[in-house]
Structure 1
Amino acid sequence: MVDKVQLRNRKGSVGIESFRGRLRLHLPRQLFDGQNKYLTLGLTDTPENQKLAEQKVHQIELDIEAGCFDETLDKYKPQRHLSIVKPSAQKVSTISELWDEYIDYKRQSLKPTTLDKLAVLEKHIKRCPYQLLDEPIKIRLALLQQTTNSQVKDVLMYLSAACKWGMKHGLVTNNPFDGMYNELPKHKWQDDSQPNAFSEEEKQKIIQAFRNHKPTKGIGYSYYAPFVEFLFLTGCRPSEAIGLQWKHVISDCSRITFEGALVQVGNGERVRVNGSKNNKKRVFNCNQKLQQLLIQIKPENPEPESLVFPSPEGLSIHYRNFSRRAWDKIVDSLVERKTTPYSCRDTFISEQIAKGVPTAVVAKWCDNSVEMIEQKYLDNKVLEQMKPL
């Protein structure tokens, strides 16, 4: 939820907003082709920081009037060293104080999905009845009483990281949470996560089912058939396909560059992030089938910034809605088990390795490590169906 601080109401002005207790600027949409654009300041919402935000607003509006507005926003981004620690390196004594300092320092380098996760963990930290850093056992027990083992494990892991950072910058003298999170049971996904690839027969049934879907009213799910086939042909993450723009596809559609994604945070807001999940950019050479698919859906003169797979409304695909409606309705009844669009990634990886492509190459194609490929994506069910050459 965004609480707006109403400082100016005239059209085209820069607005100040409080988002999850932090200040950000809402820039005029006219400057960005009608799209909402925000500049995060990395400041908590306090009267003093609102004055700093007003100074930033004044600077930006002067540049707009003078015709020298920096569209990259680099000129207006807060300098990281300004929010590192208190000037006197004053010691902190509570987990909440340490958390605030740590997140303020890290905020500019974290992806929206990570910030979204940390906002949940922060609630547990702030609610904890024991706050002093010198009572870690009490903190651990209190956290276990107010949330799940998995959430407590994450909180303790980040508190340990915050203490290590705090020691480096003179805010704390030791790390009372060091290794504590390892004493809790593994996350469920670490124990139970199994690859869920489709067989070749299932894959073809799914693609045909999307192609042939005819609704009783409205837009049919056949609209998503190219998107689904693309997931099967590339093994990319759904967020990478959703965020793919025509500037990432060379003119003859023989090569794709994956260098970002559109992810959903908070209440469904979609945010573009640069780099992959592992902060990498990768080039993917298209086989003939993938090249033909892209050629078929490519507009005559595509705008470089246009999405390759827009939603029926011309916006970005809403992954959660697509998964719950189109995917669940069509796929689960076909394969008689619960799957997600990520199963396309499992399928691509398992197929390629079964065909003899080295695991290291597949790992490069899919932006993962060999270890993760073998542990989390390679489905032995697919390998069992293959016959030796």
Structure 2
Amino acid sequence: MNTIQKANKGTVGVESFQHRLRLRLPRQVSDGNKRYISLNLADTLENQQIAAQKAHEIELDIISGEFDETLAKYKPQRHLSVVTPGDRPNISTISELWDNYIEYKRPSLKPRTLDKLAVLEKHIKRCPHQNLDEGMKIRLALLQQTTTSQAKDVLMYLSAACKWGMKCGLVHFNPFEGMYNQLPKHKWQDDSKPNAFSEEEKHKIIEAFKQHKPAKGLGYSHYAPFVEFLFLTGCRPSEAIGLQWKHITPDCSRITFDSSLVQVGNGERVRVNGSKNNKQRVFNCNQQLQALLLRIKPENPEPEFLVFPSPEGISIHYRNFSRRAWDKIVDPLVNRQTTPYSCRDTFISEQIAKGVPTAVVAKWCDNSVEMIEQKYLDSQVLEQLKPL
């Protein structure tokens, strides 16, 4: 049996069994046993797309509570038909190609990626040139109607969509091949130097949050444990925001990072399983981190409760925290622009400076050695150290 699409927990898997496609239902709707829906479709690229769409339909029914336990709703004779080469549609516009490509990819995309693609889709839909054979005109129109960075992203995704479309027989050429590489690099690619804090700056920042008590309005001392946690773990802010007590052992000696809370659209928070790189990792706490967690731990914490809630008792709104609390306290203190991600730069730089192998730090922080050295390791921190 060859699995085409590996299903995460709670999702519908698409599998190839004896060269035919079938769906594997999650345990939550199959009484703890594996259940399959045979689609009576040959294992082809075109039919894989149909199977993915059907899997997505079932997942939506599960989420909305409308799952048909009899499975009659999902039987292939009602909704599916075998796709043969003669049935392949002829796609000629970028909007049609985009709709088909995103529908195929949707089940495997994370909320933040879908949020980004929704923005790019607006540029595609309002582009005055829609025909695929107008590649250069489409490029020029995109550069005129949006930023160079967004135009570059649109062209990159259109190129990927064309490659997919060619494999499926939906289009016969890729007018966008390599086109996005001809545009200037994104700002974050050119200005991606790490921005770590010195040991002195780190202590000043933590203490400033602890002591923040304004004459009027809300103080930001509530966020002091959250900030200290970022410095002590090097985790992504979204991982700390989404951390629940069930992810921490009773003695606070070990943390499991297996999800995060990310913001999409107009600020809605969505839980995403797995890390940014779709991994789960275990992080062993040192004495300082363990003491911090024990200090803030409720007497009998509810497993689903957040470890670092907002003052209102809900999840921290990262953008608001960054623009208000962080910018107000940190940037004036260090005389430069920073973000909470600088805590991650700091942790990585400190650990490597102390002699921890880069490969180990990469495992702790869910990254590759190459990315650690290129994006996070701040040489200025290393320059401040003296030999032991």
Q: TM-score range by the shorter chain?
A: 0.7 to 0.9
Larger CA deviation: 166-175 vs 379-388: 166-175
- Residue identity matched to 2:341: Y
- Aligned partners of 1:162, 1:93: CA distance in 2, in Å? 13
168-177 or 342-351: bigger deviation: 168-177
Asked if the contact 1:264/1:271 (under 8 Å) is kept, the reply is yes
Q: Distance in 1 between matches of 2:300 and 2:112?
A: 33
Q: State the match for 2:163 in structure 1.
A: 164
CA distance in 1 between counterparts of 2:151 and 2:203 reads 42
Report deviation, 1:184. 1.0
Correspondence list, 1:247-258, <5 A:
247-258=246-257
Whole-Å separation in 2 of the counterparts to 1:342 and 1:261 = 15
Q: Give the aligned partner of residue 211 of structure 1.
A: 210
Identify the residue that residue 330 of structure 2 maps to in structure 1.
Answer: 331
Q: Secondary structure at the match of 2:387?
A: coil
- The corresponding residue for 2:342 is 343
Q: Compute the TM-score of the two structures, normalised by the length of structure 1.
A: 0.79
The within-5 A match list for 1:84-233 is 88-233=87-232
User: Map of 1:17-96 to 2, 5 A cutoff?
Assistant: 60=65, 88-96=87-95
Quote the Cα distance in structure 1 between the aligned partners of 2:81 and 2:189. Answer: 34
User: Matches of 1:168 and 1:219 in 2, distance apart?
Assistant: 57
Going from structure 1 to structure 2, the CA distance change for 1:126 and 1:169 (only over 3 Å counts) comes to same
Superposed CA deviations along residues 299-333 of structure 1, whole A, max 9, x for unmatched, are 11111111000011110000011111111111111
Per the TM alignment, residue 75 of structure 1 is displaced from its structure 2 partner at its CA by 12
1:198–1:56 Cα change, 3 Å: closer
Poorly superposed stretches of 4+, deviation over 2 Å: 59-63, 74-79, 82-89, 215-219
**Cα contact 1:93–1:133 (8 A) shared by 2:** yes
In 2: Cα distance, 1:298 partner to 1:76 partner: 47
**Aligned partner of residue 227 in structure 2, secondary structure:** helix
Higher mean C-alpha deviation, range 139-148 or range 98-107 = 139-148
**Cα drift, residue 147 of structure 1:** 1.2
How far apart are residue 215 of structure 1 and its match? Answer: 2.4
Question: Please, what is the CA RMSD of the aligned residues?
Answer: 2.7
Question: 1:370 maps to what in 2?
Answer: 369
- TM-score norm. by structure 2 comes to 0.79
* Structure 2: distance between partners of 1:241 and 1:375: 24
Match of 1:381 in 2: 380
The answer to whether the 8 Å contact 2:61/2:67 transfers is no
1:256 is displaced (CA, Å) by 0.4
Residue segments in structure 1 that go unaligned for 5+ positions in a row: 1-51
1:62 CA drift (Å): 8.7
- The percent of aligned pairs where both chains have the same amino acid is 79
Q: CA deviation at 1:243?
A: 0.2
Aligned match of 2:238: 239
